[in-house]
Structure 1
Amino acid sequence: MTATPRQESDRVARSVPGVLLLPLLVALVLPAAFASGGTRRWFGGRGEAQRAEAQGAKDAAAEAFYELDTAQRDVRISVETITAVDDSPAARRALTDFEALGRRIDEVSHRYIQAVDAHDLDRVDLEASAASRARADLTAAKDELVRVKQELDRFAQGLGPLLGKAETQLARLAPAVERARQALLAASNALDGVRGSGLKADDLAARLAALGPELTRLNQGAGQHGVQQTLERAERVTREAAAVRAEAERLPEKAAEIDRRLVSLRTRAEALTTRAGQVEPVLSELRRRFAAACWQDLQHVPEQAVENVRRAELELRQAQGARDAQRWADATTLLSTVRALLNTTDEAVSAAGERLRRLNAVQKDPEQEIERTRFAIRDAQRLAMAGRTTPDPRHARPLDDSVARLERAIATLEGRHPDYWHFLTETEAVRQAVAQVVARIREERGTGH
């Protein structure tokens, strides 16, 4: 019996594998969908190319956004490094410029995000015109991102000198802090060593204790106190701790030196007491043999010497007490006062004996003093005339005055009781005036005047 068309169709369907039925169904459904006016779906051709271009624009914009974001983070680190170290006008201006750039970056980033949110390129029913608009918007966003990054790159290049200076200071930070710690440790060890020898060194201990809060601030770090301030603090602590250490190490030697000075000055005071007792016989001889003008200024030397020695001995006892209490600065000051008193006394006591010696010499032979002064004048006159036919009035006048002054001094030797001391002081003054003329001539000729 011959099969009907329907039966034949059923047979074919039963004999074809199930996987082949889907294309068949699609082929049957598609014409019906277009014919019934349903949603249009498109694949391939120009529409797919528009979608691909839009997606490419989106990817390019995303890459530009990522590069800008990365660059901004890097530059922010540089700016923060600079401002942490540098408070100069240039550094403050760099921060202001970076903040302005940040606002510009925020604006273009916002427009980029808006462009991304405005276009869903994964929609199945994306129109070709929508894909084209998406590509245009995303490309514009990308171009803005690129332009701002170029501005950021130029700004970063301009930071070079400031950043280099800041990084140099940061590189100094850790070593500086470590040096301060080591200096404090060395000072503490030196102080312990001094105390172990029986010296108190209370003033040094107080100075070292005062550095304790500074060490705490150094340990808190530059993040809390600033890089520049921390560097300055570290250098100050290092310097002051080194000074404490040096003084501590010198303290035993200082104590020994003070002990030596106490003994030496005590011995010198005793010797001056003996010498001061010899001044009165010298004054007696001066009074007996020479005019009053020759010795009047020495009248009070004996009692002044006794008073100075008495004061020196009192200061010595106080210095000994300061040394026993280990008040080194007070002991040193007191010993300096003693030394000044003894020097003054020594000069006064010596002056009496020297006065008698010089007066004896000039009384015996005044010509020696006269000739010595005339020689100085003649030597200066020869120098003034060297290379000249007439002397310079600036040099000749004071030399002529010196000749006249010497003659007047010589005249004072006449009479029954000559003032030999006035004569000696005058001849010495003449020689000093002549020496000044000689020095001026040599200076002028040395400079070509």
Structure 2
Amino acid sequence: MRGRVVQRRVPASPWRDLLTLTLLPVPLLAAAVTASFHAGGTRRWFGGRSESQRAEAQAAKDAAAAAFYELDTAQRDLRISIETITAVDDSPAARRAVTDFQQFGARIDEASGRYITAVDAHDLDRDDLEASVAARARGELARAKDDLVRVKQDLDRFAQGLGPLLGKAETQLARLAPAVERARQALLAATNALDAVRQAGLKADDLAARLAALGPELTRLNQGAGQHGVPETLERAERVARDAEAVRAEAQRLPEKAAEIDRRLVSLRTRAQALTTRAGQVEPVLSELRRRFAAACWQDLQRVPELAAENVKQAETKLAEARTARDEQRWPDATSRLSTVRALLNTTDESVSAASDRLRRLNAVAKDPQQEIDRTRFAIRDAQRLAMAGRATPDPRHARPLDDSVGRLDRAVAGLEGRHPDYWHFLTETEAVRQTVARVVAQIREDRGGAA
């Protein structure tokens, strides 16, 4: 019977299986039923529901695995960000970010542990997997996935909050390599400039010492930020570059500085010689002042020849010291001595010129004092007109000093009467009056400018 069924190629169906079993002898039927259970008969009899639960559990397992992978990737990426921040920033905000990340690590370990436990607890590939077991596995895996997703979402929000800290850290790290390279190039340029100066016959020992002091700093730069920290390395690189650049610039200017010192030595020596000649001409000027004018007009000039001679002598001594410093290439000392010489010669020049200028002015006012009087009265009247412009009465702050200036000028003019007038007093008084008037005019304009 069974052979005939196979020969007639009856289509496979449950009814066909039932018919075949019915036609078998009873012992064989029992053996077949037993074999069907042991050989996966459950999956054939109840395959629809069991396989559906198995598929749903497998889908939950795959979803949980994807969530686990995404969380692990996010944690790895965030760990790199935290390490970037801590390498650069030691602020309270950075330290707080490290603590928060460590706390996230504990949550991630807990969620990952639940996921791994759920996966290990259920073998979804077993042939005899029951539907209830598959359903329970699906539930546990779904809960594990939800935990992983929630932690991932919180981790993403935390990562977004690190944006400012991470941006600052990445900016500093981006600056690190170029800053170190600039420092190295600056040191190389300074070394080359110093070598060129030495080849020109200039020692530049002070510059060489400053450059040598940067050697240990270069060693620390070469050791890297891993040993000394990013902020410290950045600061060191910028400082080395700045100091090396200063050495390079000074080295390049050194030949010009030497030439300038040489020029100043020649120029100041020539000027000292000329002042020696001019100082010898002061005595005849003083003699004429004494002969023609009252003592008050020239007494303060009595020691000009003596002081001029002393200053010129001292200037010549300093010039000799500057020349020695130049020959020994002590540039700061040479510059300092030359500055002293210049100050001495300026003082001498002013005092020698004062005698000649005094005689010229006294001659002019003695010949025609009216010109000085008119000049001063014009300044007073001009200021008075300005004070009254747009006003019925002048401001007392302006009127009082102008009125005092009128009286002061009148007294100075009256002082010219007599046999030996003090023309120098007259000249100093008129000059003082004009200065007072100029201050009043400036005050008026400032007040009106402020009001406008």
Shift of 1:127: 4.4
Farther-moved stretch of structure 1 (256-265 vs 50-59): 50-59
Correspondence for 1:267: 270
Task: Give me the whole-angstrom Cα distance separating, in 1, the residues matched to 2:298 and 2:32.
Answer: 146
Amino acid at match of 1:291: A
Task: Give me the whole-angstrom Cα distance separating, in 2, the residues matched to 1:42 and 1:66.
Answer: 35
1:432 paired to 2:439: no
Shift of 1:123: 4.9
Matched-pair contact (CA < 8 Å) for 1:41–1:124: no
Correspondence for 1:389: 392
Farther-moved stretch of structure 1 (46-55 vs 280-289): 46-55
Correspondence for 2:405: 402
Correspondence for 1:85: 88
Shift of 1:137: 1.8
Correspondence for 1:329: 332
* Identity level (%): 80
Amino acid at match of 1:208: L
Matched-pair contact (CA < 8 Å) for 1:41–1:125: no
Farther-moved stretch of structure 1 (102-111 vs 263-272): 102-111
Identify the match of residue 365 of structure 1 among 355, 368, 372. Answer: 368
Farther-moved stretch of structure 1 (54-63 vs 324-333): 54-63
Amino acid at match of 1:418: P
Report matched runs for 1:194-213 at 5 Å.
194-213=197-216
Shift of 1:124: 5.5
Deviations along 1:90-138, whole A, 9 cap, x unmatched? 4333333322222221221222223233334455555443333322222
Shift of 1:32: 5.4
Correspondence for 2:21: none
SS in structure 2 of the partner of residue 447 of structure 1: helix
Task: Give me the whole-angstrom Cα distance separating, in 2, the residues matched to 1:103 and 1:348.
Answer: 88
Amino acid at match of 1:68: L
Computed over aligned residues only, the root mean square deviation of the Cα atoms, in angstroms, reads 2.6
Aligned length: 424
Deviations along 1:253-274, whole A, 9 cap, x unmatched? 1100000001111111111122
Report matched runs for 1:12-411 at 5 Å.
29=31, 31=33, 42-43=42-43, 44-123=47-126, 126-411=129-414
Task: Give me the whole-angstrom Cα distance separating, in 2, the residues matched to 1:41 and 1:94.
Answer: 58
Amino acid at match of 2:329: Q
Matched-pair contact (CA < 8 Å) for 2:398–2:440: yes
Alignment TM-score, normalising by the size of structure 2: 0.87
SS in structure 1 of the partner of residue 184 of structure 2: helix
Call closer, same or farther: CA 1:27–1:306 in 2, change over 3 Å: farther
SS in structure 2 of the partner of residue 415 of structure 1: coil
Shift of 1:153: 1.4
SS in structure 2 of the partner of residue 52 of structure 1: helix
> Can you give the 5+ residue segments of structure 1 that lack an aligned partner in the other structure?
1-23
Shift of 1:290: 2.3
SS in structure 1 of the partner of residue 451 of structure 2: coil
Matched-pair contact (CA < 8 Å) for 2:40–2:127: no
Report matched runs for 1:436-447 at 5 Å.
436-447=439-450
Task: Give me the whole-angstrom Cα distance separating, in 2, the residues matched to 1:68 and 1:34.
Answer: 45
Alignment TM-score, normalising by the size of structure 1: 0.87
Task: Give me the whole-angstrom Cα distance separating, in 2, the residues matched to 1:206 and 1:263.
Answer: 31
Task: Give me the whole-angstrom Cα distance separating, in 2, the residues matched to 1:138 and 1:146.
Answer: 12
Farther-moved stretch of structure 1 (253-262 vs 234-243): 234-243
Task: Give me the whole-angstrom Cα distance separating, in 2, the residues matched to 1:147 and 1:54.
Answer: 20
Task: Give me the whole-angstrom Cα distance separating, in 1, the residues matched to 2:325 and 2:42.
Answer: 108
Task: Give me the whole-angstrom Cα distance separating, in 2, the residues matched to 1:100 and 1:335.
Answer: 71
SS in structure 2 of the partner of residue 331 of structure 1: helix
Task: Give me the whole-angstrom Cα distance separating, in 2, the residues matched to 1:181 and 1:27.
Answer: 94
Farther-moved stretch of structure 1 (423-432 vs 293-302): 293-302
Identify the match of residue 412 of structure 1 among 415, 418, 427. Answer: 415
Farther-moved stretch of structure 1 (177-186 vs 386-395): 386-395
Shift of 1:356: 1.7
Task: Give me the whole-angstrom Cα distance separating, in 2, the residues matched to 1:296 and 1:283.
Answer: 9
Task: Give me the whole-angstrom Cα distance separating, in 1, the residues matched to 2:181 and 2:29.
Answer: 83
Amino acid at match of 1:409: A
